[in-house]
Chains A and B, each alone.
Chain A
Amino acid sequence: MSIAIDLTNVSKAFGETRAVNDLNLQIPEGSMCGFLGPNGAGKSTTIRMIMSIIHADQGDIQVLGATALASKDRIGYLPEERGVYRKMKVLQFVEYIANLKGMYGASLRKTIRTWLERIELPEVENKKCEELSKGMQQKVQFLAAIIHDPELIILDEPFSGLDPMNAQVIGSIIHDLHAEGKTILFSTHVLHQAEQICDRIIMIDQGYKVLDGSLASIQAQFDPRVLTIEPVDSSANFTSLPGVESVSAGKTNTSFNLRITNNADPATVLQEIVAKVPVLSARVAKPSLDEIFIEQVVRSRGSEAADAVRTELHHA
């Protein structure tokens, strides 16, 4: 499989601040890749370099087999900061962006109208952008990002500010575009969103890549410290069992999450629990991306930094 985005030893600094450090990335064509990290991790800087909006201080960037600049028209980009020309009509705005992406021709307006219907905004083509709600403006901007049928689509926080209905509409289109074979790079700091739709995860923190691989392989890398138990008797007491550090409520009313001590083996503890307490189900829990990320921060920056990141993730 050929590589859609290939970054080799890429670094970028702004004055004294190093935004991206020696970053190596290979994103295969046709993948749905989550580009994750907390605010200020270096995601937007990396994306701007991929879009050749800013240039790397060092390293090499290849996009769709060419330089980033040469591939500009083959990329669709939805920036994190949403913006439209307030006084421009919706059709004119999308047409203008399509023109800038090298798309002309008599059928362009027809294509825009078809897409406006698809994003459930069929009546807005002659309205000024300022007359639309924030969510509608966001959908128009999403349309402007994909109207030129790009091979690579980069979406920076595509769902932020959208209500569940509109998020579903956009999510469905992203899914369809991926099914058509487009490569999608999906940047977010809301990790569970990426967990749901991405087949590949890249995580960066403080400008360094900290994780890269499929979701399953990343989850496998992390030693699970949590067991999910559904006892027959919901009043069963697990705290006194050997190897159990703490107990908390599970995702269902009848399940419990048992955090095990650092020196205990999860498989052994699970066997002992099943032997002592009648259970309906018992399994080693897969760590969520949030947990993986916090674990990663603990490893690289210490537990104090992890607390700050945990708070940030809970607010996302």
Chain B
Amino acid sequence: MQYERNYTMRKALTVAWREFKHTAMTKAFLFGAIVMPLLMMGLFIVVVPLLTESNNTPLVGTVVVLAEDDVLEEITIQIERGNTTLTEVLEKLPDAITNDPIASALLATAPKSDITIIAGNPSELDSIKAQVREGIYKGVIVVPDSTVTQNGNEDKIEIFIPSSFSPNHTDILTSATSRAVVDARLKRLSHNPAAIRDLIRRPRATATRLSNDGAEIQDNEIARRIIPMAFMMLLWIATFTSGQYLLTTTIEEKSNKVMEVLLSAVSPMQLLGGKILGQAGVSAVILLMYGSAVMAGLLAFALGDLVPVLHLVLFAIYFVIAYFMIATIMAAVGSAVNELRDAQSLMGPIMLVMVIPMIIWPVLSEHPNGMLATITSFTPPLLPFVMILRVTASTEPIAIWQIVLSIGVGIVSVVAMIWMCARIFRIGVLMQGKPPSILQLAKWIRQG
């Protein structure tokens, strides 16, 4: 057995390891921070397609058409063109998805319909309907000739289907019939529907930004809108989740009266340092977990180049600044109160400030170099959240001096906040009774 004395760092690391172990290596954390998100992702990836599988079964059978011959022929053509609904959906999707090999492969596996179109006699409509009910036919389409004539939009096309017919299959018939009627109209006027369709197809416009250094960067909607928000959210979730743990474990140590036992072995600063270090590990685990999931998603859709390495490096720097700001605040609040509900009154004003980036992010994202964005990116404790948003949202690189200045202000703020919160912590951990007001906390800072 070995005695180790006066090893300040070793004591802080002992506290840190306990803090990490009893937060991140628990069933509650595994369930809340890992299993739940995985379950949610699994729900979208596996369960939702399974639940909608019935809609994807191909439409197979015979459909009776009561229409003129040219219309019937057009309906047959449209049905044979395959799943027209799928074609329409594909046309609406952005290039990023339609060009993606995985997405294309998935779309290629979409089921195809196998429908036989036969002509029917309009006078036998009732008996055909009866046969549809009995399942002999999949449906009957009634197209009055007036709908094909130039001014015949007032008459309706009617499609009779069984009560159990799925919405997807209904779409196939309605979409094919509508297109067929339009094509029949055009042909009656001696036009070529395919040529006209090609003529009226709207070309896709892409914006390319010309930067001052001569480079041309293609504008990307996803990169411009979603990624900055994702970066900021990730920073927020990672820091506030572990900050919340720090708050509750500190309150627990006070309310369980174990604080005095701890302080008989370590100094308040060793305890505070250890706790912050331990929860930094928790925060890093959350960040890596969600961050790698996001990156894996981007890489899977061949969008990895939307997140340059420089952004990841800056993200890591701003994460450290954000974590220490939030952690010191949470530890100070936790040390000052005896119960979680007492913390609410102190957390109220703090949260009011901290949610500002979440509220103004659309403005910041749209004008990343605007006055509001610039000022808030130098204002602690908002600066790490705002600056990472600016860095990732801006179409032009943020001036280096602004990044360096914000990091400098961030580091100075972290040191100042550690100093203030340490003074509150030193007094707060031994305080019992009524929770202090903000003014009393300021007094503690002066006394400490």
Question: A104 to nearest B CB, angstroms?
Answer: 6
Per-residue interface assignment for chain B, residues 229 to 268, with 1 indicating a CB less than 8 Å from any chain A CB and 0 otherwise: 0000000000000000000000011001111111111110
Whether the pair A79, B256 counts as a contact (CB closer than 8 A) is: no
Whether the pair B261, A97 counts as a contact (CB closer than 8 A) is: yes
Whether the pair B256, A84 counts as a contact (CB closer than 8 A) is: yes
Q: Is the interface of A mostly helix, strand, loop or mixed?
A: loop
Stretch at the interface among B4-12, B110-118, B367-375: B4-12
Inter-chain CA distance A54–B267, complex, in Å, is 10
Residue B22 at the A interface, CB < 8 A? yes
Residue A18 at the B interface, CB < 8 A? no
Inter-chain CA distance A111–B7, complex, in Å, is 22
Residue A264 at the B interface, CB < 8 A? no
Residue B430 at the A interface, CB < 8 A? yes
Inter-chain CA distance A53–B262, complex, in Å, is 10
Known A51-B264, A69-B267, A96-B14; contact A104-B4, beta-carbon cutoff 8 A? yes
Residue A108 at the B interface, CB < 8 A? yes
Known A96-B18, A100-B14, A102-B4; contact A144-B261, beta-carbon cutoff 8 A? yes
Inter-chain CA distance A141–B5, complex, in Å, is 22
Residue B401 at the A interface, CB < 8 A? no
Question: B321 to nearest A CB, angstroms?
Answer: 30
Whether the pair A86, B256 counts as a contact (CB closer than 8 A) is: yes
**When A and B form their complex, what is the total count of cross-chain residue pairs whose Cβ atoms lie within 8 Å?**
78
Question: B157 to nearest A CB, angstroms?
Answer: 68
Question: A168 to nearest B CB, angstroms?
Answer: 24
- Out of A101, A105, A107, name the residue touching B265 (CB < 8 Å): A101
Known A100-B262, A102-B5, A104-B4; contact A83-B22, beta-carbon cutoff 8 A? no
Chain B CB count within 10 A is highest, among A73, A82, A87, for: A73
Residue numbers in A under 8 Å from B11 (CB-CB): 100, 102
Whether the pair A105, B259 counts as a contact (CB closer than 8 A) is: no
- Out of B3, B7, B258, B263, name the residue touching A84 (CB < 8 Å): B258
Whether the pair B260, A70 counts as a contact (CB closer than 8 A) is: no
Known A100-B14, A111-B1; contact A77-B264, beta-carbon cutoff 8 A? yes
Interface residue range, chain A = 35 or more
Residue numbers in B under 8 Å from A209 (CB-CB): none
Residue numbers in A under 8 Å from B5 (CB-CB): 73, 102
Closest residue of chain A to B3 (Cβ to Cβ) is A102
Please provide the chain B residues from 211 to 240 with a CB less than 8 Å away from any CB of chain A in the complex: none
Whether the pair A105, B261 counts as a contact (CB closer than 8 A) is: no
Residue numbers in A under 8 Å from B7 (CB-CB): 102
Residue numbers in A under 8 Å from B4 (CB-CB): 102-104
Whether the pair A100, B258 counts as a contact (CB closer than 8 A) is: no
Residue numbers in B under 8 Å from A79 (CB-CB): 257, 260-261, 264
Residue A172 at the B interface, CB < 8 A? no
Inter-chain CA distance A94–B124, complex, in Å, is 90
Closest residue of chain B to A54 (Cβ to Cβ) is B430
Inter-chain CA distance A85–B15, complex, in Å, is 13
Whether the pair B2, A104 counts as a contact (CB closer than 8 A) is: yes
Inter-chain CA distance A81–B257, complex, in Å, is 6
Inter-chain CA distance A87–B258, complex, in Å, is 12
Residue numbers in B under 8 Å from A84 (CB-CB): 256, 258
Closest residue of chain A to B1 (Cβ to Cβ) is A105
Whether the pair B257, A83 counts as a contact (CB closer than 8 A) is: yes
Per-residue interface assignment for chain A, residues 107 to 151, with 1 indicating a CB less than 8 Å from any chain B CB and 0 otherwise: 110010000000000000000000000000000010011000000
Residue A169 at the B interface, CB < 8 A? no
Residue numbers in A under 8 Å from B264 (CB-CB): 51, 53, 72, 75, 77, 79
Please provide the chain B residues from 1 to 60 with a CB less than 8 Å away from any CB of chain A in the complex: 1-7, 10-11, 14-15, 18, 22
Query: Which 5 residue pairs of A and B lie closest in terms of their CB atoms, listed nearest first?
Result: A83-B257, A83-B258, A100-B265, A77-B264, A105-B1
What are 26 A-B pairs at a CB distance below 8 A?
A48-B260, A53-B260, A53-B264, A54-B430, A70-B6, A72-B264, A73-B5, A77-B264, A79-B260, A82-B257, A83-B253, A83-B256, A86-B252, A87-B22, A96-B14, A96-B18, A97-B261, A100-B11, A100-B262, A102-B3, A102-B4, A102-B7, A102-B10, A103-B1, A103-B4, A111-B1
* 17 other A-B residue contacts (CB within 8 Å) besides A79-B261, A84-B258, A85-B252: A48-B430, A52-B267, A53-B263, A72-B265, A81-B260, A99-B14, A100-B14, A100-B265, A102-B4, A102-B10, A103-B4, A104-B1, A104-B2, A105-B1, A107-B1, A108-B1, A111-B1
